[in-house]
Amino acid sequence: MIHELPYVLRPENICHLESDSLYIGDRRVFPFEKRFERCETVEQVASALRQMVTQGGGPLQVALTMLRFVARLMEQGKLPFSFQEMERSANLLIEARPTNTTMKRTLQQLLFQLQIVFAQKTSLVEEVEKLVGAVEQHYDQIYHTMGMMGASLLEDGDTVLTTCFAEHTFLLSLAYAKKEGKHISVLVSETRPYLQGAHLTAPSLKEMGIDAKIITDGMGAHYLFEKRVNMYMTASDVVCMDGTVVNKTGTLANAIACNYFHVPYYAFCISPDTTKDGLKDLKMEERDGGEVKKCMGHPTTSEDIEALYPSFDIVPSSLVQGIVTPKGVLAPQHIKRSFS
Amino acid sequence: MIHELPYVLRPENICHLESDSLYIGDRRVFPFEKRFERCETVEQVASALRQMVTQGGGPLQVALTMLRFVARLMEQGKLPFSFQEMERSANLLIEARPTNTTMKRTLQQLLFQLQIVFAQKTSLVEEVEKLVGAVEQHYDQIYHTMGMMGASLLEDGDTVLTTCFAEHTFLLSLAYAKKEGKHISVLVSETRPYLQGAHLTAPSLKEMGIDAKIITDGMGAHYLFEKRVNMYMTASDVVCMDGTVVNKTGTLANAIACNYFHVPYYAFCISPDTTKDGLKDLKMEERDGGEVKKCMGHPTTSEDIEALYPSFDIVPSSLVQGIVTPKGVLAPQHIKRSFS
């Protein structure tokens, strides 16, 4: 476990098991409330994921904890003791978040290993704990490594612009930079329509003792113009083999403005998607525009007006200075040779 | 009077006189409510302007109507019948909106003419009506001319990106283009923190029968990337003699993205500021960051988090294709020779 993490990223606050229930930290109401969604069945967990109770890296952690939960329910006789039942549970979660390929890949790898466990009829809870614990340690190690690399990019006095909630890798970069005595400030784009910047990133940075100021999504260019930004850093939903970065809507506008003002943009990526060569393999999804017509549930315009909600931005590799990966801070053009 | 205007821009909805009161259309609650702020004194009018009951070109129209109101109160013996009293009233409004230089200049010109009226002791109400009516006609003519010029820039099938609420000149451009049989679509940036795009622009376009879709302030670049935008059009708070454009925060990010994707940006400007050569004459104001931490009055983050609110963006002339003025659609480099 990494000790520098703020409230929302601490494992027990992402989710935890307690007697007969799995509790998921509700990121939708943070920082106004610190509440947990209580789930007694796998179906309820899947439903909570669909309803965005947690997001980003949250669903992966929930999925891992759910395997422990299912093993426990099986040993208690509350679920049929079979690999098929375990597989069914995992698939319910995979289907609840079809675009979360990290969760899918991790669950499929674990299912492969669990097939052997079921065949051997050893203690299920113990074996699941071993397997899941190893996966958790693996990610902790990656977060730590990437945090150290991110910190090495930062200089004392830097101001970093960010969009959305870049979670462990970005926040650890700032935590480790702070430990090294570097004073870093962060400009946090509020990230409409869900406001992850205002709800998750800014309060987490504040909690970590890092100077954070919220701006609206149109203001990044203004502070670049004023030479008050040294770097732009975000997470990534997908990184293609040609270095194309896919991330939250709003990322492209800031990346273009950074390019215009000669300020470098770095994206964090745990594992580039080896199945995607580039733009041609990306599907441009559109979400329900109704979300853009609301702010925290309150309508921002008349009901009969239309709105659009593109699910993500595609950032061409020419706008990306570097991609922070477990294998190093790579030029986008070097992703393919390091990961394929 | 121009007949194509939507509800919020129709003169009687900006403000009107009724028996003993001046009623100001409250843009803060539009489109949810169509309410008017009732003012019985000049002090109340000034207070309403300070509280942003109306914005953009609204304060100018309120100031003109207030001169009629004061003349009426003077003839009714409810205010001292003197030029000094008229001047005091005008200055109260000028001070209520220190950055509104168009209102200030117009009121000062009218005061100059009214000084003669008071000296001649003719019917005050009648004389004020003549003078103010002439100013209103002058602006209507300018709006009409600029609307025709804006329409000439648009082609059938175009999609225009816009920020904030560009009022008469922009909306008339679209109205006249529509009359000419051109089908134009508009992508409206919601324009946080006050949401003028969602509250004023989108509902006005909808009312005018023009296809409008709201996007968040970070999404403009996304639709430029997808080649779904042919043009970016905004109003301007100031245009300097060197063609530098000052406008609502969010304008610079879109202008840079347009430049990157080779899409032209046009700004509407009734009168460039001959006292400002360029960047060096512009003061970078910052407003209360608290506004950015709210959306329609609801807090978007914890109370102890800081936020920033730059009052406007400065757009270098190299990012501007043309400035739509009463004298033509000018290259930004030609502003000086046409207006000094």
Indicate the number of domains in chain B: 2
B212 to chain A: nearest residue by CA?
A306
Specify whether the CB–CB gap between B324 and B302 falls below 8 A. Answer: no
| Same structural domain, B148 and B102 | no
Span A104-117, pLDDT tens digits: 999 999 999 999 99
- Rounded CA-CA distance A245/A312 in Å is 10
The residue type found at B337 is R
Mean pLDDT per 10-residue interval, chain B, length 340 residues: 86 94 96 96 96 93 96 93 96 91 92 92 89 96 97 98 97 97 98 96 97 98 97 96 97 98 97 93 87 95 96 95 98 95
Domain of B171, CATH number, reads: 3.40.50.10470
pLDDT at A122: 77
**CB A83 within 8 Å of CB A112:** no
DSSP one-letter string for A73-99: HHHTTSS--SHHHHHHHHHHHHHHSTT
Q: Which residues in B lie closer than 8 A to residue A199 (C-beta atoms)? A: 300-301
Residue B1, domain member (yes or no): no
Task: pLDDT band for A31, please (50, 70, 90 cuts).
Answer: very high
Whether B210 contacts chain A with CB within 8 A: no
**Who's near A76: CB < 8 A, 6+ residues apart?**
none
- A223 contact B CB<8A: yes
Computed on alpha carbons and rounded to an integer, the radius of gyration of chain A in Å comes to 20
B322 vs B331: CA distance, rounded Å: 5
Residues B116 and B63 in one domain: yes
d(CA A329, CA A152): 10
Q: How far is A115 from chain B (nearest CA, A)?
A: 44
Distance in angstroms (rounded) separating the CA atoms of residues B283 and B300: 29
What pLDDT score was predicted for residue A99? 79
Structure tokens at A182: 């570097």
Domain membership flag for residue B294: yes
As for the ipTM of the complex, it is: 0.93
* HEC assignment per residue over A113-162: HHHHHHHHCCCHHHHHHHHHHHHHHHHHHHHHHHHHHHHHHCCCCCEEEE
pLDDT given at position A311? 82
**% residues pLDDT > 90 (chain A):** 93
**Which distant-in-sequence residues (6+ apart) come within 8 Å of A176 by Cβ?**
A4, A147, A148, A150, A151
Q: Which residues of B touch A214 (CB under 8 A)?
A: 289, 292-293, 300-301, 305-308
Q: Which of A195, A296, A305 is nearest to B32 (CA)?
A: A305
User: In angstroms, rounded to a whole number, what is the distance separating the alpha carbons of residues A65 and B314?
Assistant: 50
The reply to whether B295 falls in a domain is: yes
- A209 and A111 fall within a common domain: no
Q: Cα–Cα distance between B100 and B104 in angstroms, integer?
A: 6
Stretch A259-268: mean pLDDT? 98
CATH number of the structural domain spanning residue A22: 1.20.120.420
- Asked if B222 and A249 come within 8 Å (Cβ–Cβ), the reply is yes
* Mean pLDDT, rounded, of chain A: 95
Strand partners, B287: B309
In a domain, A2, yes or no: no
A194: nearest CA partner in chain B: B300
Of B142, B168, B196, which residue is a domain's last? B142
Looking at the fold, whether B211 and B244 belong to one and the same domain comes out as: yes
Of A81, A113, A142, the last residue of a domain is A142
Residue B154: other Cβ atoms inside 10 A: 21
Mean pLDDT of A142-152: 97
Q: Alpha-carbon distance B71 to B128, whole Å?
A: 7
- Is residue B2 included in any domain, yes or no? no
Block residue for tokens 């052997």: A116
Residues A259 and A118 both lie in one domain = no
Give the pLDDT of residue A1: 57
Does one domain contain both A313 and A189? yes
Residues B202 and B249 in one domain: yes
Average pLDDT over residues A31-48: 96
Task: Give which of A310, A104, A98, A340 is closest to A243, Cα–Cα.
Answer: A340
Question: pLDDT (tens digit, 9 = 90+) per residue, B266-310?
Answer: 999 999 999 999 999 998 778 899 999 999 999 999 999 999 999
Residue B4: the pLDDT is 84
Residues B163, B86 share a domain: no
Q: Are residues B165 and B283 in the same domain?
A: yes
Instruction: Using a cut of 0.90, tell me whether the model's pTM lies above it.
Output: yes
- Same domain (yes/no): B26, B92: yes
Residue A1 lies in a domain: no
Res A73 pLDDT > 60: yes
Tokens of B315: 């757009």
Range of the domain at B243: 143-339
Residue A153 is assigned to a structural domain of this protein: yes
Indicate the pairing of strand A309-310 with strand A286-287: antiparallel
Structure token pair of residue B105:
């200049």
Residues A282 and A152 in one domain: yes
**Residue at token pair 């006292």:** B275
CA B267 to chain centre: 12
Tell me if A192 and B304 make a contact (CB, 8 A cut-off).
Answer: no
Q: Decide if B29 touches A, using CB distance below 8 A.
A: no
Q: Dihedral of the CA atoms B336, B259, A285, A269 (nearest 10)?
A: -130
Distance CA B21, CA B39 (A): 6
Asked which of B142, B170, B186 is the last residue of a domain, the reply is: B142
Establish if A175 belongs to a structural domain: yes
What local confidence, expressed as pLDDT, does residue A51 receive? Answer: 93
Average pLDDT over residues A45-49: 97
Together in a domain, A88 and A170? no
